[in-house]
Amino acid sequence: MDIQPFTIAVSNQQLAALKARLQGTRWPASFAGNQDDDARDSEADFAFVRDLSQFWQETFDWRAREAQLNHLPQYHALVDGLKIHFIHQPGIGPAPLPLVLTHGWPGSFVEMERLVPLLADPGSHGGDPKDAFHVVVPSLPGYGFSEAPGAGVSSRQIAALWAKLMDGLGYARFGAQGGDIGAGVSTWLGLDHPDRVLGLHLNYIPGLYRPPLGEGEPLLTVEESDFLKRAAAWYAEEGGYGHVQGTRPQTLAYGLSDSPVGLAAWIAEKFRAWTDSTGQGVSRDAMLTNISLYWFTNTIGSSVRLYRENRRQPLQFGPGERVRPPLNVAVFPRELPMPPKSWVERVYDVHRWTIMPRGGHFAAMEEPELLAADIRAAFRPLRERRER
């Protein structure tokens, strides 16, 4: 496998062009300062986006963030003809366990920036060196610095790419972790490559995941029925983004690729709504680093196209089909609707189900210490399986 070191280097021309576009923003007139209280809670309201845009223009320092990100060992690998960007941080400990972490949307590899050192070098962060991991963080195809794929590449095909990437790095057996789309990719790894995946750790169960139901299957419990109602209500109120991304990704891409404020509003709305305000949250610097990455790489169009591919190849299970590697779940209180344990146990072998004290959808950014501790604990009893 051809693997080459990679360094982020956004040009001065790109920085100047972004600033000019931000300065030339044409703001919407109809809702400026005229939204109701409910809209302010859920939408990217005018005052919030205006302040974020001003901070992006006048205060945010991309060069400083670029330098920080470049402290992470980054590479490009050619996997099945597709150039994949990834972090590869070797672990520091007596026997580090290979672990592939997969981000989601509207995130990026930036989500894992603070999590990587906690997993790779736990001994330097109050942990036990025996819990160290060789950490691999690929950028999803069409996200950030990974090349956009052609049609037909869903989370299932991405899982196959990850299996080949890990093989190219010399990791025959490994763990997989993720949330959001990353949870789907990790699950497909467990389904299609069970002999290579030692275990799974998920902090969100994929929205399109469906176990077999109906004749011959256990009846829905009250808790499961309540979950389906809550999920349906949530998607009816909050799921518009997913529907348009899954049905009209190219149409959406024109506006978001042309307007940095439009892009920021589309992404920042999710960070604002899906994080836990009682915890550490996500700083404006971290959020704008992620948004800037989408802007400089012009990948919002290719990123949202994955929603359409996943609608065409949903994660649905047939009778008797199960995910064989053991599953560990961290449930963060401000996460999107999560199924109950009994629902998950219909197709997964659940070994550990942890209710976390705080945190939301962007757990690796919001509460990296909590997430790292749970990942370490989850894989501790699985490490010995590598040699079997």
Q: pLDDT (tens digit, 9 = 90+) per residue, 14-48?
A: 999 999 999 999 999 865 455 555 544 556 789 99
Mean pLDDT of the 160-186 span: 97
Q: Burial letters for 34-56: b for 16+ Cβ neighbours within 10 Å, e otherwise? A: eeeeeeeeebbbbeebeebbeeb
How would you class 239 by CB atoms within 10 Å of its CB: exposed for 0-12, middle for 13-18, buried for 19 or more?
A: middle
Its pTM stands at 0.95
Separation between Cα atoms, residue 217 and residue 318, nearest integer Å: 11
User: Under a CB-based contact definition with an 8 Å cutoff, are residues 371 and 115 in contact?
Assistant: yes
Separation between Cα atoms, residue 93 and residue 88, nearest integer Å: 16
Residue 352 confidence (pLDDT): 97
Separation between Cα atoms, residue 199 and residue 112, nearest integer Å: 19
Separation between Cα atoms, residue 97 and residue 118, nearest integer Å: 14
- Has residue 126 got a pLDDT over 60? yes
CA distance readout (Å), 360 to 7, 281, 332, 336: 31, 8, 5, 8
Tokens 């600033």 belong to residue: 19
Catalytic residue annotation: 180, 307, 361
Separation between Cα atoms, residue 119 and residue 38, nearest integer Å: 40
User: Under a CB-based contact definition with an 8 Å cutoff, are residues 211 and 314 in contact?
Assistant: no
Residue 40 confidence (pLDDT): 46
Domains of the chain listed by start with CATH number: 3-383 (3.40.50.1820)
Backbone φ and ψ of 59, nearest 5° = -120, -40
Mean pLDDT of the 243-269 span: 97
Query: What does the pLDDT look like over 284-339, one tens digit per residue?
Result: 999 999 999 999 999 999 999 999 999 999 999 989 899 999 999 999 999 999 99
Residue 24 confidence (pLDDT): 96
- Has residue 223 got a pLDDT over 60? yes
Quick count: other Cβ atoms within 10 Å of Cβ 173?
16
Mean of per-residue pLDDT scores for the chain: 94
3-state class (DSSP) for residue 332: coil
